[in-house]
Amino acid sequence: MFWLFLFFRGVVGIGEASYAVISPSIIADMFTGTNRSRMLMLFYFAIPCGRLRSSYDRFFVYSNEKICFYLFSGLGFVVGSTIAALTGDWRWGVRITAILGVLCLALMVVCIEEPERGAAEREKGVLHIEMVRSKYIDDLKKLLLNATYMISTAGYTSIVFVVGTLTWWAPTAIQHNYAYRNGINSTDQLNPETKAHVNLIFGTVTCVGGIAGVAIGSILSEWLHNGVGPFRYVRTIRSDAIICGVGALIGVPTLYFSLHEIPKSMTVAWVLMFVCITSMCFNWATNVDMLMDVVIPNRRSTANSWQILISHLFGDASGPYILGMISDAIRGDDESPYGHFNSLILSFYLPNVLLVLSSILFFIAAYTFLRDHKIFKNEMASVIVIKALESESPLLFTNGVSRSYSSATAEYSDRHLQKASTSTLSNGNGVDNNAFAYPINSTTKPNYPPKSYGLFYESTKM
């Protein structure tokens, strides 16, 4: 039965990988600019609050106790554990996912119409060429030459490694600490309620921190891109990569101190762990948003698929096993709870180093982004026609005349959201496009807000 269990677990993984690859591309084909960023943010809320099975898979493989309230990562586990408790069988905590899957499939068939590749860009006027089918090997060659994509994939993989190892081993380390403090020889002798309490708090911290991280990361990136809020004096189109790097950087001290505070104060440890998880989740939506700005529509699914494969293969799939081997090597023959706890804490120096590496890689991606974004725009269209009537656009005034500008000039007006004269647009003067970030003064800040359409508004972010 165990091998059958693994087989069906693998089949479910195929389904997960399929929608994880295709969904961001569909969202990118439906929305552009800030709307796309916000829709990706909503989609990636599912990471911290939608998973149902992982805790029950671990329960099946490793546990002989009758505990059906093992929270591991989000609201989905609350639902799964509740179903398991009501039915008295942990298997129903897993089976409920199939029922929800059938419901989602029916809704997709009835409600979703698949958009054409690049439909959103074409509707906005950014894409004026028909996307042609290319060879798969040619797409891979293009992606290998895309420095921003390759570097951000490495940075994202490092983050996934850390998140995977933390969510797998942190509850175990905390339980070993409780066993050591209570003077017992094994976590098997811990009160089941204590284990459930640890898992409940960790699941809550993971869920809330994940949701907060996705939201905060997306909002900060949008603010930095548009020069609003705390970034009203500085703005840059490299905002996605910068926020990803900052999130990884915040995770370095918070991860280190959260684990070392476990024996001293669990309250402080929980708070630091919450901040750590929140910061590491800055990149879930912003990293994909950055990818959409450097990869053309008919290549996005391929880019997503390889990034997901690499990040999980070398991240949360192998990470817990690698950390476990390091912990066992450090611990040696010491089977005491303190020995287990201490070796796990020491082995977490590896994830700390990877967080530093991830931060560096994302900042390098911020450096390469401008070049790759220009290549992306050149592939999308060589000339962009801007039709900006005074009655319709608060950003550009051309006295009701449609004019054609070079892609570099259009990029200037698009990136910096400025009200400018025709001569300024024609000459393209005023802003150093090679600057990492630049200050905004009264002459460059737009006098009018973007046209509002309720919660979401039209933005010139591409």
Picking from 327, 346, 378, the residue at the C-terminal end of a domain is 378
Q: Which residue has the higher pLDDT, 258 or 376?
A: 258
Residues 392 and 253 in one domain: no
Residues 405 and 283 in one domain: no
pLDDT value, residue 130: 55
What length is written for the chain? 462
Residues 324 and 450 in one domain: no
Q: Does residue 462 fall inside a structural domain?
A: no
Host domain of residue 326 = 2-378
pLDDT value, residue 409: 41
Q: Does residue 35 fall inside a structural domain?
A: yes
Mean pLDDT score of the chain: 75
What are 199-232's pLDDT values in tens digits? 888 888 988 898 899 889 999 999 999 998 889 8
Average confidence (pLDDT) over 236-243: 94
Give the 3-state DSSP-derived string for 135-198, with helices as H, strands as E and coil as C. CHHHHHHHHHCCHHHHHHHHHHHHHHHHHHHHHHHHHHHHHHHHHHHCCCCCHHHCCHHHHHHH
Q: Which residue has the higher pLDDT, 64 or 165?
A: 165
Rounded to 10 degrees, what is the CA torsion of 230, 232, 237, 240? 10
Residues 156 and 113 in one domain: yes
Beta-strand runs (E) in 340-435: 383-386, 403-406
Residues 230 and 261 in one domain: yes
pLDDT value, residue 11: 81
Task: Name the one residue in this structure whose structure tokens are 């009200």.
Answer: 419
Picking from 361, 378, 395, the residue at the C-terminal end of a domain is 378
For residue 438, the SS3 value is: strand
Q: Does residue 6 fall inside a structural domain?
A: yes
Q: Does residue 76 fall inside a structural domain?
A: yes
Residues 252 and 392 in one domain: no
Sequence-distant (≥ 6) Cβ neighbours of residue 294 within 8 angstroms: 146, 148, 149, 369, 372, 373, 375, 376
pLDDT band per the 50, 70, 90 thresholds, residue 48: low
User: How far, in Å, CA of 343 to CA of 362, rounded?
Assistant: 30
Sequence-distant (≥ 6) Cβ neighbours of residue 126 within 8 angstroms: 32, 377, 380, 381, 384, 462
Other C-beta atoms closer than 10 Å to the C-beta of 103 total: 10
Q: 62 φ, ψ to 5°?
A: -110, -15
pLDDT value, residue 193: 84
User: How far, in Å, CA of 215 to CA of 229, rounded?
Assistant: 15
Q: Does residue 311 fall inside a structural domain?
A: yes
The least confident of 69-83, 88-102, 241-255, 396-410 is 396-410
User: How far, in Å, CA of 21 to CA of 394, rounded?
Assistant: 37
Residues 450 and 320 in one domain: no
The least confident of 114-128, 174-188, 404-418 is 404-418
User: How far, in Å, CA of 322 to CA of 320, rounded?
Assistant: 6
Residues 362 and 395 in one domain: no
pLDDT value, residue 196: 81
Average confidence (pLDDT) over 230-235: 89
The least confident of 21-25, 63-67, 132-136, 351-355 is 63-67
What are 351-379's pLDDT values in tens digits? 999 999 999 999 999 999 999 999 988 88
Q: Does residue 147 fall inside a structural domain?
A: yes
Q: Does residue 418 fall inside a structural domain?
A: yes
Q: Does residue 353 fall inside a structural domain?
A: yes
256, 244 contact by CB (below 8 A): no
CA-wise closest residue to 318 among 171, 170, 161, 172 = 161
Asked if the model's pLDDT at residue 44 lies above 80, the reply is no
Residues 359 and 241 in one domain: yes
Q: Which residue has the higher pLDDT, 77 or 434?
A: 77
- Prediction pTM value: 0.71
Average confidence (pLDDT) over 377-400: 48
Sequence-distant (≥ 6) Cβ neighbours of residue 85 within 8 angstroms: 68, 69
Residues 315 and 428 in one domain: no
Residues 367 and 409 in one domain: no
Picking from 354, 378, 402, the residue at the C-terminal end of a domain is 378
Residues 413 and 294 in one domain: no
Sequence-distant (≥ 6) Cβ neighbours of residue 24 within 8 angstroms: 40, 43, 288, 291, 292, 300, 304
Q: Which residue has the higher pLDDT, 50 or 262?
A: 262
Average confidence (pLDDT) over 313-319: 91
The tally of domains found in the chain comes to: 2
What are 102-154's pLDDT values in tens digits? 888 888 888 877 777 666 666 665 555 555 667 889 999 999 999 999 999 99
Average confidence (pLDDT) over 245-268: 95
The first and second tokens of residue 392, run together, are 């319709």
CATH number at residue 197: 1.20.1250.20
- Say what angle helices 147-181 and 266-280 make with each other, to 10 degrees: 170
Q: Which residue has the higher pLDDT, 35 or 426?
A: 35
User: How far, in Å, CA of 280 to CA of 284, rounded?
Assistant: 8
pLDDT value, residue 416: 40
pLDDT band per the 50, 70, 90 thresholds, residue 46: low
